[in-house]
A and B are shown apart, each in its own frame.
Chain A
């Protein structure tokens, strides 16, 4: 004889986009008591993302169409501290950071979760395309039903304790279905384009202008793998491993790629496509969701990249690729899957002097 439980209260993070609007609608249908919230994270210029007044208006409008409350939380200080400042500092250190991962880690699934709990909500929901599944070892994050839109990579850090307080209703279907559903419900957000790129950097302003306001941009020597100087670059901080453009005139024949950026000695090592390949990628901050998995797993190193077969050292020191693989820019998230379930994650580490 189960006691009558009260309706679960869910705080839905509504960015003003189609996915979170439909997520809210689905939860409403499922009988939850819900309220919407839009986080104001960035006060500066922005193309779109979660911060502009018009996005807040769209979210408010969608909430109103659904007949739910809508609130706005200003987490600007937290966003600056945990996302924007580290983004600039990482570039200064020669890393290629992934601000969406840090925003998810620190803002959406920490700060917001905490706020929601303080305000009496049982659960938080977002419009991310990923799924939460129950396995023998506990709750796990699974790729979204729409593999093309899957966002499990940027959510890889979510462990069972967070997943237990989270709902991801949009990830259960394809994006196309989400849009169709929004249209059928007449939601104002049905035809909004997907948000792209880094939300706090505008296309007009660009990464160079943004970074140059926060960190010194330093010129660097460009050397080949033998250490001989072959050119120079204006701003070391704008280069990332694997990059081909932006190296200036290096002379010579075949295309050359960035193999390594050493911020300390202001040296960029370039080489051929073949030299970009590697057998292993060193890791930092690796965390297994459960016990280390010793066999072959699938490892993804960019948001929309294809996962490749690899093994990961039990201590999380490095990924060993089954087939040679392009070098991963230090700072990028590295996520391991078994089938389509996240089993661990970390970031590509910077190894000093790996080429110089």
Chain B
């Protein structure tokens, strides 16, 4: 019953965090051993550290279709997202408005909603509703701010738009590239087109944290001012990441006090982290075409295996009509299994060695209802049985097959207990 270390692990939670790649480990150790100095210094050791940092910057830039000077190293995706949204709002003043989709990661969603911004809906595939986006950009009206602790806030907060209901200037438009829960891929170029036409002054941001394994982020984000990427989704250490900030784009920095990263992000640069991130990102980028092909087969085998074993009670969350999965990232299988409770299912899977997750974990560790599935119109009772299996560079076909067995058996057990 309890999850044991001895049970062979089937790791299907790459979208939460992907195991360290050997190349990243080597790069980290090498840089950490070699570069003991602070790269902002002027002596030889500092200059060498600086060179290593710059090399990492170049490598990352070439993977993301950016110039080296456009790469700002951060502590990861959440910082990059916060920096993009809050930094863009910060330079535009109190009447600035942020517009994003309802299915963003909370690192984008919270800064947007807290500042009184606008969220636009998605369709049942989890893809942004371009018409709704266009409407929001045409008439950028700040909604009444969300109620805080059950109280209705009558006036906009000090850092929000001057008054709710008034037209406000859009400072930033943000769209997630690949959804972290469902794997839904947004049409980034169409979003950019709409934003450029209807809100030409706005900065364009994409949270590409989940995307780099699955799509050509460099090509897809050509028109974007700001792009967030994190290390630990591609097999680099947690605590590494970047925000691409195109030349000439002005952001209010989150962290000041040292002028590092061209004044855009203060703090002693993490040379070893940057080197490891660059190594992992390069490998992931080089292998992307092959691993997309390989993992799509495994992912589809997983889903189809579950449908074969459990019937049509298994639906792909982002393809509810059973249609194609072309709009879903190759390595993500988010399924809703009717009649089971995710929490109970995850417990049994854990005991069987399968590490997976449901919608999203809240800070207490409990499973909270998914805002993403809700925005897609998945009924709450069905969303309660959601399961996210995310594959990655370590996943084997044997693991995928064993996962089908473990999941099916666990679901059938829970059937005897009303789903757990």
Chain A interface residues (CB < 8 Å from chain B):
9, 33, 35, 38, 40, 44-45, 53, 56, 60, 69, 71-74, 77, 114-115, 117-121, 213
Contacts and interface: CB of A to CB of B under 8 A. Distances in A.
B2 A213 contact: no
A72 B365 contact: yes
B353 to A, nearest CB: 14
Contacts of B347: 71, 119
A213 B416 CA distance: 39
B166 interface: no
Nearest to A73: B343
Contacts of B416: 118
Nearest to B368: A74
A9 B1 contact: yes
A40 B347 CA distance: 16
Interface in B395-420: 413-414, 416-420
B344 A118 contact: yes
B363 A53 contact: yes
B111 to A, nearest CB: 21
B417 A114 contact: yes
A40 B2 contact: no
Contacts of A35: 1-2
B2 A69 contact: yes
Given A40-B366, A118-B414, A45 B149 contact: yes
Contacts of A77: 380, 384
A118 B2 contact: no
A5 to B, nearest CB: 15
Contact of B420 (A33, A74, A115): A115
Per DSSP, chain B at the interface is loop
Contacts of A73: 343, 366
Interface in B119-157: 149-150
Contacts of A53: 363-364
Given A33-B2, A35-B2, A213-B150, A72 B420 contact: no
Contact of A40 (B344, B364, B380, B418): B364
Interface residues of B, number: 27
A72 B1 contact: no
Nearest to B417: A118
B417 A117 contact: yes
Secondary structure dominating the interface of A: mixed
Contacts of A9: 1
B367 interface: yes
Interface string B364-392: 11111000000000001000100000000
B3 interface: yes
Contacts of B418: 114, 118
Across the A-B interface, give the 3 residue pairs with the lowest CB-CB distance, nearest first.
Answer: A118-B417, A74-B366, A40-B366
Given A45-B149, A69-B2, A69-B3, A118 B413 contact: yes
A163 B200 CA distance: 68
Contacts of B417: 114, 117-118
Interface in B26-40: none
Contacts of B364: 38, 40, 53, 56, 72
26 contacts: A35-B2, A40-B362, A40-B364, A40-B366, A56-B366, A69-B2, A69-B3, A71-B365, A72-B364, A72-B365, A72-B366, A74-B366, A74-B368, A77-B384, A114-B417, A114-B420, A115-B341, A117-B417, A118-B413, A118-B414, A118-B417, A118-B420, A119-B1, A119-B420, A120-B348, A213-B150
A294 B3 CA distance: 52
A72 B380 CA distance: 20
Contacts of B365: 56, 60, 71-72
A60 B420 CA distance: 23
A120 B343 CA distance: 14
Contacts of A71: 347, 365
A120 B1 contact: yes
A121 B367 contact: no
Nearest to B343: A73
Contacts of B413: 118
A119 B2 contact: no
Nearest to B358: A74
Residue with the highest number of chain A CB atoms closer than 10 Å, among B341, B366, B417, B419 = B366
B1 A115 contact: no
Contacts of A40: 362, 364, 366
B370 to A, nearest CB: 12
A119 B363 contact: no
Contacts of A119: 1, 344, 347-348, 420
A61 to B, nearest CB: 12
A71 B2 CA distance: 11
Nearest to B348: A119
Given A45-B149, A121-B1, 14 more contacts: A38-B364, A53-B364, A60-B365, A73-B343, A73-B366, A74-B366, A74-B368, A115-B343, A115-B344, A118-B344, A118-B414, A118-B418, A118-B419, A119-B344
